[in-house]
Structure 1
């Protein structure tokens, strides 16, 4: 991969696949990070999920520190650390500590999650059983890129409240998201003042050589905060494809130059699987739909299934509709097919960078997917 090429990065969920354990998934994360570094990917980001039967990335700061220690120069960060599960002080101290030991290599991606965000979805949850997909709007195609219909997933509100309590979330955890982001930044700057006017300093955070990002899925609080503070923004296509265009537009409209950035900078996340030919790639991608279905229906046995398990599943029309928004945005195929579609996505979003997430049942297929993409991502194709 050349420096002249639009940068590609990696988003890893540490997937737990059927027949393996969380320990296997975590070891695979470290292994994949080393491969990503060798292949020239710019960043390696770790997601955050809790109490999941299929995702082992539950402690992003810990895993980021381990990956940074196992690599030499690739940037390592959070995609994202969910701010409602911590406090601004804890986030600043944790990531400042890592950055002091790995200066110039750490990205702190801040995500909005918690009571307020889910309260917005809960209004729809009463209209359907838990796990049901509520579709509003229509699917469209923009320059051959699928923009799925807006959807929300109704959920078990009692189960959510239990999880929120276990994570230490409190009511109103995201009521002032921009203020929380500013508090994180203030600890890094060394000028934090409490609401009571008390000046406090977190020396493990001050002067940390890291980059702060905001991740978002809509034109709401995340895009606004990223723009107002002049931070780079990561827009979500693989999970929030329906609103990705309005998300990046809102960020750019809100952007103010800062000490962090003179101009807006956007990376867009995308779900990708590459193989030697289109047919093989489609086979490797076939378990994704069943995995998404199981997760959305809250099944405890939600580990990423094998191709054989996916093939054996007898789909109903309702089930296919249940996962259509996720599967329609997945980019699958040979290197040439995937490169062409990625450049279309880059064109309509104006992305400065793309961050790729790849999940296959066999770890070797996942590594090979990233290898094939890196080899095909040439400077003469980067113009889109």
Structure 2
């Protein structure tokens, strides 16, 4: 199976974190039965609608609740932790679930700091590349400069802490795992943990993944306008390593599947409002019900804020979504796709993944 799952443990309107976490465990068990290759957990902080704030803890719980599916992070934000602490956490999980753990790493905190001081934003028109929509880019610098984010960044690190260069941090992670560091990570050293780098642009994440010969995840669902650039930069920088002889790419996507398109679009309601909450700097809100979504009156500026995410979400019948995802895979040259599905009702989310797996396996 070349489909995997990225789960944020979403909290819905009127729901609780405990319910969201129980839903995650239920979905993971069922996803294993449907044949998905990996089950990854995101890292989000200060988000009222996301329960996945400590991916290593949640990965341990999911790994214990399943038996064969690979479980990992999408992604641990290395700017908030030291390489040693990350390797120890994932080494501990691997000790009890050997050979099943993926360590996906991102540099989100460092990326936000760079964007906050970036000079200028260059917009581009939307284009269709061999059937795949590449929307206009989103101006991340506006969000990165939000005062809430600057305050939150201070809460995620000790006072006065300085985050090292991302490439140096990745080198330390690999050295701890391989036992070539001057200190020993126990547990962690020698763990069969697979290291991944996640990125949204042709910047340092793609470069580091390629130069270290690591597998790479390009975020079409977060930053669809730059997915092709990110994959291209990774492949151009790639050097064979003990981990990989050739580049290996996963591309992420948002999707909602139902028995027919009308039903799928009803289930997909709430996504626009949810993305709006993220992009205004408030943090992901509890996922709204269809009725709450219908009640919101949109301004043109709000629509523009979320349009790239809405237009690049795959919503429809099993065949429609599977066909759309195949286009994404073909155009990006992805080896796997990482699918995120959020609906108000948990049963609808489970059913969406079930229908997608059936359609994908019968292509």
Q: TM-score, normalised by structure 1?
A: 0.90
Deviations 1:228-276 (A, max 9, x none): 1111111100001111001011111111111101111001000000000
Structure 1 position 15 matched with structure 2 position 2: no
Secondary structure at the counterpart of residue 239 of structure 1: coil
Residue in 1 that maps onto 2:114: 120
Deviation at 1:124, TM superposition (A): 5.9
CA distance in 2, matches of 1:249, 1:118: 22
Deviations 1:22-65 (A, max 9, x none): 11111111111001101000000000001111111000000000
Change beyond 3 A, Cα 1:174–1:244? farther
Residue in 1 that maps onto 2:340: 357
CA distance in 1, matches of 2:231, 2:283: 35
Residue in 2 that maps onto 1:235: 218
Secondary structure at the counterpart of residue 338 of structure 2: strand
Structure 1 position 219 matched with structure 2 position 205: no
Deviations 1:306-363 (A, max 9, x none): 0011112222222211110111110000001001111100111000000100000000
CA distance in 1, matches of 2:273, 2:249: 31
Tell me if structure 1 keeps the 8 A contact 2:261–2:317: yes
Tell me if structure 2 keeps the 8 A contact 1:213–1:231: yes
Out of 176, 179, 182, which is 1:190 matched to? 179
Larger displacement relative to structure 2 (237-246 or 289-298):
289-298
Residue in 2 that maps onto 1:337: 320
Aligned length: 361
Structure 1 position 205 matched with structure 2 position 176: no
Change beyond 3 A, Cα 1:171–1:326? farther
Deviations 1:209-243 (A, max 9, x none): 12111111111111111111111111100001111
CA distance in 2, matches of 1:146, 1:307: 26
Q: TM-score, normalised by structure 2?
A: 0.95
Deviation at 1:8, TM superposition (A): 0.4
Structure 1 position 65 matched with structure 2 position 60: yes
Deviation at 1:100, TM superposition (A): 1.2
Structure 1 position 101 matched with structure 2 position 88: no
Deviation at 1:203, TM superposition (A): 2.7
Tell me if structure 2 keeps the 8 A contact 1:113–1:174: no
RMSD: 1.8
Tell me if structure 2 keeps the 8 A contact 1:277–1:333: yes
CA distance in 2, matches of 1:172, 1:340: 47
Residue in 2 that maps onto 1:196: none
Secondary structure at the counterpart of residue 250 of structure 2: strand
Secondary structure at the counterpart of residue 136 of structure 1: coil
Tell me if structure 2 keeps the 8 A contact 1:112–1:174: no
What are the equivalent positions in structure 2 for 1:19-58 lying under 5 Å apart? Answer: 19-58=14-53
Change beyond 3 A, Cα 1:300–1:120? closer
Runs of 5+ consecutive residues of structure 1 not aligned to the other structure: 128-133, 193-198
Deviation at 1:174, TM superposition (A): 5.3
Tell me if structure 2 keeps the 8 A contact 1:81–1:109: yes
Runs of 5+ consecutive residues of structure 2 not aligned to the other structure: none
